[in-house]
Amino acid sequence: MGKDRSIVHMDLDTFFVSCERLLDSRLNGKPIMIGGTSDRGVVAACSYEARAFGVHSAMPMKMARERCPEAIIIKGNSATYMKYSTMVTDIIKEDAPLYEKSSVDEFYIDLTGMDEFYGCLQYASELRQRIMKETGLPISFGLSENKTVSKIATGEAKPNNQIKIDYGEEKPFLGPLSVRKIPMVGLKTYQNLRNLGIKKIHTIQNMPIDMMQSAFGKNGSGIWRKAQGIDNTPVIQHSERKSISTERTFDHDTIDILKLKGILSAMAENLAFQLRRGKKVCACVTVKVRYSDFQTQTLQRRLPYSSADHDLIPLVAELFERLYNRRLLVRLIGVRYSDLVNGHHQMSLFDDKANFFELYQAMDKMRIRYGDRAVLRAVGMEARTIGRWNPFSGEPPPLLANRRS
């Protein structure tokens, strides 16, 4: 991978807000906050007008209200957002030779070699214009030789604009920008960099890589490379039907409802952890039941993109309640999460349970260290008591052996 690559990063501007404004033009030009509506809620998205008051995503709604009391607060509608995300995806799929959907509102497109037939900038510009014309949504893009520089360029192009970074201009473009602009630099790393007196990317560009490695370990070399504008990560062809699933075939058919519900809860909880560990969210949940006569039934439902236990476990329980109506012995049960995309919990913060996410982080750390089933809800504890299984072994219990697709 050399300097002949041409990578576009496209990002729908304030996506959730833009969708709401398409439905109600009276929202245009006004400060908008989308998320949990109570004081315990969290801002999932906000308009540029609200950002001018210091509001940002993942901020507690109470604090956001205090900073921008005149803002219009909207609960959010996942079906609307998924509809428009699919519309944009279909347009890109039709026009782009190779694309990667990295989240509901972000896309990478590999246009390498297109300059020989059709200018990459012109091609990307016409695609952007088509998306805006057919969906009504504002969208920005950055074009450069790699993903990192293009993503940062998109941020500089916003709102609703485009930037091309020519070959050889990556370092001069990045140099004056804040180190916070580097994609892998989160708030904690940013604070650590600031404590070292590092505010601008050009400071890292002038540092030896060994110094960054000694200060930040493995991440230090990654940050250094991105600061230099170096990123050989390929655009990975988008797959529409990614999923993760698990199912259990019983040695003896059962009609023990409490046992079935406990196992399903443990399945749902473990799969949610797998999503978070893989930095994924899902938009569809399916429950499967196979009876003793081998008749198999499934039921699925869509939901806002999420990897949160409090979204997924109750939905699995609800689907099972609706599905299990034959009162026959059960041979097999299963759970599948599908329509996966890269993302984090913020994508499902339309409720008022933001305090759960700190709990999930703590539980996930224990699972990563001691094994997937080191922490389990009480309703799923029956799975742990079957057989001789050590929760700290790192091995899943035989009852809940995973099968992923």
pLDDT tens digits for range 176-228: 999 999 998 988 899 999 999 999 999 999 999 999 999 998 889 999 999 99
* 106 is known as an active-site residue: yes
Question: Looking at 238, 256, 278, which one is the last position of a domain?
Answer: 238
Do 187 and 277 sit in the same domain of this protein? no
Average pLDDT of the chain is 85
pLDDT at 157: 97
pLDDT digit string, tens, across residues 280-326: 889 999 999 999 888 889 999 999 888 888 889 999 999 999 998 87
Q: What does 198-240 look like in DSSP terms, one character per residue? A: --BHHHHHTS-HHHHHHHHTHHHHHHHHHHTT---PPPPPP-T
pLDDT at 154: 97
Would you tell me how many other CB atoms lie within 10 Å of the CB of residue 195?
8
CATH number of the domain encompassing residue 18: 3.30.70.270
CATH number of the domain encompassing residue 256: 3.30.1490.100
Question: Looking at 137, 159, 181, which one is the last position of a domain?
Answer: 159
**Spatial separation of the C-alpha atoms in residues 248 and 145, rounded to whole Å:** 47
pLDDT digit string, tens, across residues 38-89: 777 789 899 999 999 999 988 889 999 999 999 999 988 877 888 899 899 9
Query: Percent of the chain having pLDDT more than 70?
Result: 83
405 belongs to a structural domain: no
Q: What does 146-173 look like in DSSP terms, one character per residue? A: SHHHHHHHHHHH-SS-EEE--TT-HHHH
Q: Which residue, chain included where needed, has tokens 């989160």?
A: 186
pLDDT at 370: 62
Do 285 and 362 sit in the same domain of this protein? yes
Domain count, the chain: 3
Q: Output 278 or 405, whichever has higher pLDDT.
A: 278
Do 98 and 175 sit in the same domain of this protein? no
366 belongs to a structural domain: yes
> Per the structure block, which two tokens stand in for 105?
């509102």
pLDDT band at 395 (very low <50, low <70, confident <90, very high): very low
Asked if the model's pLDDT at residue 396 lies above 60, the reply is no
Do 2 and 121 sit in the same domain of this protein? yes
**Spatial separation of the C-alpha atoms in residues 224 and 119, rounded to whole Å:** 31
pLDDT at 375: 60
pLDDT digit string, tens, across residues 95-113: 898 999 988 899 999 999 8
pLDDT digit string, tens, across residues 219-242: 899 999 999 999 999 998 866 557
CA 59 distance to own-chain centroid = 17
Nearest to 148 by CA among 227, 224, 205, 209: 227
Q: What's the whole-model pTM score?
A: 0.67
Strands of the 7-12 sheet, one edge to the other:
99-103, 106-110, 7-12, 139-144, 162-164
**Spatial separation of the C-alpha atoms in residues 278 and 229, rounded to whole Å:** 26
Nearest to 377 by CA among 263, 289, 245: 263
- Average pLDDT over every residue of 342-369: 61
**Spatial separation of the C-alpha atoms in residues 28 and 49, rounded to whole Å:** 10
pLDDT at 70: 95
Q: Which of 20, 49, 100, 106 is catalytic?
A: 106
pLDDT at 238: 67
Could you tell me the residue range of the domain that residue 114 belongs to?
Answer: 1-159
pLDDT at 164: 96
Half-sphere exposure at residue 372, Cβ-oriented, CA atoms within 13 angstroms: 22
- Average pLDDT over every residue of 110-120: 84
In 88-138, at which residue ranges do the beta strands (DSSP E only) sit?
Answer: 99-103, 106-110
Q: Classify burial at 28, counting beta carbons within 10 Å of its beta carbon; exposed 0-12, middle 13-18, buried 19 or more.
A: exposed
